[in-house]
Amino acid sequence: MTDHRSGNTQAAPAEHARETHTETERIILARRSVRRYKKSQVPGWMVKRILEAGRFAPSAGNCQPWKFLVLRDREMIDELSADVRAVSARLARLLDYRGTGSPGKRLLAHLMIRLKPRDLHPTPFGAVRLIADGKLGLYHGAPTVIIILKDVRGISSPELDCGIAGQNMVLAAHSLGLGTCWVGFTKLAFQYTKKWKRRLGVAYPYAFANSIGIGFPLGEPDGMVPRPQHPVDWYEDGVCRTLWAEGADRELPASERRRIPDFGDKSQVSPGIVSVDGKACTGCGLCVRACPASSLELVDKTACMVPVEHNECILCGACIAICPVGAVTAVEPPHFSGRFKEIDRGELAPPRLFTGD
Ligand SMILES: Cc1cc2nc3c(=O)[nH]c(=O)nc-3n(C[C@H](O)[C@H](O)[C@H](O)COP(=O)(O)O)c2cc1C
């Protein structure tokens, strides 16, 4: 019988949890962003269950500063995607600072980087170019999209509260056997057009926070992948030990903080790298289709990375998780010089099960 007051959750006894990940941990650790879906719609009851997981997220002062919009009409989702693609094409034309480009364009881009450094980070900007070129879909064919609006009057950080509600929904969806992908680029339709604010009735106090595509995954894209370790400062018994210190961020000299990387200089910019075991690879092409950055291709029925000048790999691990024969391994995260945030460079490790203290 369920105790509705305690919501009794069959918490794993400590000794059992020491030996194996709990079900909740497995969902958290194996969840991957899914970018290929079956055409069939997600049943309404599942979406409502997912919304419930969002509704019960923690929020600062319990102010629940969100509103969820659910889009389930293919034509509407396609129209929104087309509008975001059109905005991406305009932005890429105007601001792509990564090629040789004209000096005027570089100047404008450098000014914009000062004003909006996060938007013009090489990773999202690389994705804007991929969206503009039709190489990266927006919702990847997901039949349901949840748009999360933040109430800008929220306490402390409504954006953070919306992120927590969103991740609750993502994990609930994966626990139901669905796939999801956060889609931040929906923002472009709200930032650079008035149409979607009007059409979806988004007005003060609400503003776009983020969105999530949901559907039944094609194949089995979820799976555990390695990631760099991040250093952790552990204070106990009056001393501080830094765990996994080898990935620590360097202190950045002022010159490096200001430098906008020169994409022609590989010491300043290099893409992520994965390696494919040619003997194990069956040439099924699942990794090529799963890669959001179009960084893999099939050559002579074996997957390999595209030439470095076209490679936008972000080391997300989608190719590693989906490979049915374990032929793909992570080698190195991308590098952009110090101005832009890059992934800490600690040793790559899969999710670990710590059994000792
Ligand atoms: C806030 C947010 C926005 C994102 N926006 C996009 C997006 O617009 N398109 C996309 O394909 N992936 C998007 N992603 C997915 C990330 O690329 C992905 O989480 C990351 O590469 C790590 O891979 P994983 O989710 O499989 O662990 C987004 C993720 C987050 C958290």
In eight-state DSSP terms, residue 312 is: -
- Identify the residue whose C-alpha is closest to ligand 1 atom 19: 33
**Tokens at 19, concatenated:** 């030996």
| 345/320 Cα distance (integer angstroms) | 19
Q: What is the dihedral of CA 126, 129, 130, 133, to 10 degrees?
A: -170
**Ligand 1 centroid – CA 34 distance (Å):** 9
Distance of CA 355 to the CA centre of its chain: 30
pLDDT for the residue 1:
42
The CA-atom distances, in angstroms, between 292 and each of 70, 219, 296, 315 are 24, 16, 10, 10
Which residue's alpha carbon is nearest to atom 26 within ligand 1? Answer: 32
- For 263-301, the pLDDT digits (tens) are 778 788 899 999 999 999 999 999 999 999 999 999 999
User: Rounded to the nearest 5°, which phi and psi values hold at 57?
Assistant: -70, 150
DSSP string, 328-344: EEEEE--B--TTS----
Ligand 1 binding pocket includes 122 (Cβ within 6 Å): no
- How confident is the model at residue 354, as a pLDDT? 92
**Whole-angstrom distance, CA of residue 140 vs CA of residue 130:** 13
Lowest mean pLDDT across 7-16, 194-203, 235-244:
7-16
Q: What are the structural domains, with CATH classification, of the chain?
A: 20-222 (3.40.109.10), 227-252+266-349 (3.30.70.20)
Q: Which has the minimum average pLDDT: 22-26, 171-175, 310-314?
A: 310-314
The pLDDT score that the predictor gives to residue 243 is 94
- Judged against a pLDDT cut of 80, whether residue 239 lies above it is answered with yes
Asked if the model's pLDDT at residue 147 lies above 70, the reply is yes
What's the confidence (pLDDT) of residue 11? 66
- Does residue 328 have its Cβ closer than 6 Å to ligand 1? no
Average pLDDT for residues 163-184, to the nearest whole number? 98
Residue 338's pLDDT band, with cuts at 50, 70 and 90, is confident
Six-digit token string for 225: 């992948």
- Region 220-240 average pLDDT: 96
pLDDT of residue 309: 83
Cα distance between residue 234 and residue 70, in whole Å: 42
Query: If you average pLDDT over residues 169-176, what whole number do you get?
Result: 98
Average pLDDT estimate for 94-114: 79
Which spans in the chain are helix H?
A: 14-19, 23-30, 44-55, 74-95, 103-115, 122-132, 158-175, 187-191, 195-199, 254-258, 286-290, 318-322
Cα of 155 from ligand 1 centre, angstroms: 26
Identify whether the C-beta of residue 221 lies closer than 8 Å to the C-beta of residue 74: no
Q: pLDDT: is 182 or 4 the higher one? A: 182
The whole-number pLDDT of residue 2 equals 47
Separation CA 47–CA 172 (nearest Å): 10
SS (H, E, C) 200-245: CCCCCCEEEEEEEEEECECCCCCCCCCEECCCEEEEECCEEEEECH
Percent of the chain beyond pLDDT 90?
A: 73
| Per-residue pLDDT at 336 exceeds 90 | no
Spatial contact of 178 and 213, defined as CB atoms under 8 Å apart: no
- The whole-model pTM stands at 0.95
* Ligand 1 geometric centre to CA of 33 (Å): 6
Number of Cβ within a 10 Å radius of residue 336? 18
User: DSSP labels for 238-274?
Assistant: TEEEEETGGGPPPPPPHHHHHPPP-TT-TTT-B--EE
What's the 5 CA to ligand 1 centre distance in angstroms? 35
Average pLDDT of the segment spanning 234-243: 97
Confidence grade of residue 3 (pLDDT, cut at 50, 70, 90): low
Task: State the pLDDT confidence band at 100, using cuts at 50, 70 and 90.
Answer: low
Q: Grade residue 4 by pLDDT with cuts at 50, 70 and 90.
A: low
- Beta-carbon contacts of 65 under 8 Å, excluding residues fewer than 6 positions away, are 59, 150, 151, 152, 153, 154, 155, 158, 161, 162
- For the CA of 225, the closest atom of ligand 1 is 27
Closest CA to 69 of 145, 186, 185, 147: 147
Residue nearest to atom 30 of ligand 1 (CA): 182
Q: What is the overall mean pLDDT for the chain?
A: 92
Determine contact, residues 200/147, Cβ cutoff 8 Å.
yes
Q: How confident is the model at residue 258 (pLDDT cuts 50, 70, 90)?
A: confident
The ligand 1 atom nearest the CA atom of 35: 11
Residue 48: pLDDT above 80?
yes
Is the shortest distance between the CB of 321 and ligand 1 below 6 Å? no
Whose CA is closest to atom 14 on ligand 1? 182
Residue 87, pLDDT score: 98
CA 192, CA 11: separation in Å to the nearest integer? 47
Taking the CA of residue 318 as reference, the ligand 1 atom at the shortest distance is: 26
**Residue 61 burial (CB count, 10 A):** 10
Nearest-atom number in ligand 1 for the CA of 137 is 11
What CA–CA distance (Å, rounded) separates 339 from 123? Answer: 13
